[in-house]
Copies of this chain bind each other. A is one copy, B any other.
Amino acid sequence: MDSLYNKIKGSNIVWQKGLVTRADRNTFYGHQSGLVWFTGLPSSGKSTIAHGVEKVLFDKGVKCYVLDGDNVRYGLNADLGFSEEDRRENIRRIVEVSKLMVDAGLIVLTAFVSPFKKDREYIKRRFKNDNFIEIYVKCSVEECIARDPKGNYQKAMRGIIKNYTGISSPYEEPENPDIILNTEKLSVKSTIKQVLKFLKQRGWLENISL
């Protein structure tokens, strides 16, 4: 199945090793690099939590960056829509950009709906033996509809937006995420704390005092 995602078309492609390795960066920066993947319904709180975590980490000197659905679609994935094929390509490119950024020494925090199990399984396989954390930002559709800061649920319900996750396209819940954050019960602050604590436990922030 992976060939669907990553088929190398160019001839004579070899991975070029630089003079500065990822290990060099991890040592110099005092923390591991890796990918923290947030998944959940639109308006569940993924982006808010990811940006909150980024702010705390940045202030502590951690090199990090949020890749966000809207931002990535604004540039890199501007040519992609919401068909199944385009959603898959969207995920594939995000994963590859994440790999480059992780190689550059960053903790990458991604906030994408990523509703399909097979896509998330692909991400895990691509990050096999690498620093990877999956976080399920849990929130009921009813609550997400009530929040709906961009009015997209309303538009989806009126059929103006097609294939909208939670309304006209399914969200498949993760079975074994590393963390579940229920944003109907927890405050933003406490979800951020939970993520940071987990990063620390995993040993990503060895020389960083929180």
CB-CB < 8 A to A52: which residues of B?
Answer: 19
Q: Cβ of A146 < 8 Å from any Cβ of B?
A: no
Given contacts A10-B82, A100-B76, A104-B106, contact A70 B16 (CB under 8 A): yes
Q: Are A78 and B14 in contact (CB under 8 A)?
A: no
Q: How far is the CA of A13 from the CA of B74 in the complex (A)?
A: 7
Q: Cβ of A176 < 8 Å from any Cβ of B?
A: no
Q: Cβ of A97 < 8 Å from any Cβ of B?
A: yes
Q: How far is the CA of A105 from the CA of B11 in the complex (A)?
A: 33
Please encode chain A, from 38 to 72, with 1 for each CB lying within 8 Å of some chain B CB and 0 for all others: 00000000010001101100100001011110111
CB-CB < 8 A to A58: which residues of B?
Answer: 20, 24-25, 28
Closest to A99 in B: B75
CB-CB < 8 A to A185: which residues of B?
Answer: none
Stretch at the interface among A1-9, A135-143, A195-203: A1-9
Q: How far is the CA of A10 from the CA of B70 in the complex (A)?
A: 9
Q: Are B70 and A15 in contact (CB under 8 A)?
A: yes
Q: Are A100 and B65 in contact (CB under 8 A)?
A: yes
CB-CB < 8 A to A97: which residues of B?
Answer: 76, 97, 100
Question: Nearest Cβ distance between residue A27 and chain B, in whole angstroms?
Answer: 11
Q: Are B8 and A74 in contact (CB under 8 A)?
A: yes
CB-CB < 8 A to A82: which residues of B?
Answer: 10
Q: Are A70 and B101 in contact (CB under 8 A)?
A: no
What residues of chain A have their CB less than 8 Å away from a CB belonging to chain B? 6-16, 18-20, 24-25, 28, 47, 51-52, 54-55, 58, 63, 65-68, 70-82, 86, 93, 96-97, 99-101, 103-106, 150, 152, 155, 161
